[in-house]
Structure formats: C-alpha cells, structure tokens
Chains A and B, each alone.
Chain A
Amino acid sequence: AQKITQTQPGMFVQEKEAVTLDCTYDTSDQSYGLFWYKQPSSGEMIFLIYQGSYDEQNATEGRYSLNFQKARKSANLVISASQLGDSAMYFCAMREGKTSYDKVIFGPGTSLSVIP
C-alpha cells in the first residue's frame, strides 16, 4: 500500500497566486515527521519545510506553509505568491518513528507549473 499519496500529478498556477499541493500519508505510528522537497529540472532536491507529528502549530517557512490535519493524515503544502522559479516537482515525504532512524519514504510527486 502507498504510504504517501499525492493525487495531483500536475498543476498550474498563475504567478502571484497561492497554490495548495495535496499530500496524504498512512502510518500507524504516533511519532513521525513529514517533509516537503522541491526538485527543479536540474535534479537537486531542495528541502522546503518540516512538520513533526507532535507539533501543535502548522509549520511555516517564508512563502511555504504546511496545512497539517493529523486526524485526516493530511499534510498539504501551501505556496503563497507563486513565482516563476517555483515551477518544479514537489515531493511529500515521511519518516516514521518505529526506530529512531527509519528510512524516509517519498510520494510520487506533483509537477507545478507557474504561468506568467
């Protein structure tokens, strides 16, 4: 079964508009971490934002915020004021807490295109 689901293979957004990228996850652990990464066409994975399962507030990092709904097992990424440079693949990822160092599992990704 998929541990990380990203239901939007591709999305378009107008420059300066906000966009939400969906991510749902599946885990039976109480302790886990959720990550979002950006991958431009160059290939390098760029860390955007982190949310711990016990964090009570939604994470924010500049124009990025994470809409964390624990009961729904949802961790959507919100990008405000989109820029042309935001065009890239976006991956949601999770590290579960069965051990202190479980592997990170990635979702299939969402391709975001920002239109001028």
Chain B
Amino acid sequence: KAGVTQTPRYLIKTRGQQVTLSCSPISGHRSVSWYQQTPGQGLQFLFEYFSETQRNKGNFPGRFSGRQFSNSRSEMNVSTLELGDSALYLCASSPNGALQETQYFGPGTRLLVL
C-alpha cells in the first residue's frame, strides 16, 4: 500500500497570504489528523477529520481550517499567514481513529513565512 502523501513538500509564503496544504491518506483510512511542529512548541494537534466531518480540534485560531473529501483526502488552509506559522505540518491517517489504532504519518510540508 502507498503511504500517506503530502503536497507540496516545501512552501515559501509572505505574511498576509494564505496557503492550502494537501494530504492523501493510506488507502482505506478514513481518519486524517493534522499536526503543527515547531522547535518551540513541539508537535501540536490541529484537527482530525473522519468521513468528511471534523471530530476533534486543537487550540488554534480560526485562521487554521480544514476539510475532508469523500475519498478521505484532506486539505488544510491557513489564512492571513503570520511569521509564527512557519513550521512543519504533518498529516497522519488511521483506519477509523480508534484508541488502539496507529497513526501513520506523511513526510510533512515545510512552510516558511517571510
């Protein structure tokens, strides 16, 4: 099976712009979670989608949003970019997001905001 894929891998934006990141989960996985990783804050949970519905949300401002399509692919959008949004954005998938299920991660998208 192909792993989790994320596009683009690298992105450079300027403050005030918006950005959309894409994640394709492992085939058959319906749960997709997004994380932000920075040197200062570590790995922080953004949100989780399951069957096109957001089930969980972390403590991020409304500028961070996401959606999931019927084929389980997910997109994450950040509007009005700030310098502090520079980070590695990781997407992870699992079959149903259940307690004992392992999340499998994609390679991440490195976003740099100038």
What is the CB-to-nearest-CB distance from B92 to chain A, in angstroms, rounded to a whole number? 7
Per the 8 Å Cβ criterion, residues 72-114 of B in contact with A are 88, 90, 92, 96-100, 102-108, 110
Q: How far does the alpha carbon of A47 sit from the alpha carbon of B58 in the complex, in Å? A: 22
**A47 / chain B contacts, CB cutoff of 8 Å:** 102-105
Contacts A50-B100, A101-B55 given; indicate if A43 touches B108 (C-beta within 8 A). Answer: yes
Smallest distance from the beta carbon of A32 to chain B beta carbons, Å? 7
User: Is A44 within 8 A of B106, CB to CB?
Assistant: yes
Which of A42, A50, A101 is within 8 Å of B48, CB to CB? A101
| A45 and chain B: residue at smallest CB distance | B105
Minimum CB–CB distance from A28 to chain B (whole Å) comes to 15
B-contact bits for A77-116, CB 8 A (1 contact / 0 none): 0000000000000010001010011111111110000000
| Beta-carbon nearest neighbor of A32 in chain B | B99
Q: Is A31 an interface residue (CB 8 A)?
A: yes
- Are B42 and A50 interface neighbours, CB within 8 A? no
CB pair B45–A104 under 8 Å, yes or no, is yes
Chain B residues touching A, majority SS: strand
Decide yes or no whether B31 CB sits under 8 A from chain A: yes
**Is the pair A103, B33 in contact by a Cβ cutoff of 8 Å?**
yes
Q: Is B56 an interface residue (CB 8 A)?
A: yes
Contacts of B102 in A (CB 8 A): 35, 47, 50
Q: Which residue of A lies closest to B3 (CB)?
A: A44
**How far is B45's CA from A97's CA once the two chains are assembled, in angstroms?**
17
With a cutoff of 8 Å between Cβ atoms, the chain A residues found around residue B19 in the complex are: none
A33–B100 CB distance below 8 A: yes
Residues in B neighbouring A32, C-beta threshold 8 A: 99
B residues sitting closer than 8 Å to A (CB atoms) are 31, 33, 35, 42-43, 45, 48, 50, 55-56, 58, 88, 90, 92, 96-100, 102-108, 110
Sample (29) of A-B pairs whose CB atoms are under 8 Å apart:
A31-B99, A32-B99, A33-B99, A33-B100, A35-B103, A44-B105, A44-B106, A44-B107, A45-B92, A46-B105, A47-B104, A50-B102, A52-B99, A100-B97, A100-B98, A101-B50, A101-B96, A101-B97, A101-B98, A101-B99, A103-B45, A103-B48, A103-B58, A104-B45, A104-B103, A106-B35, A106-B42, A108-B42, A109-B42
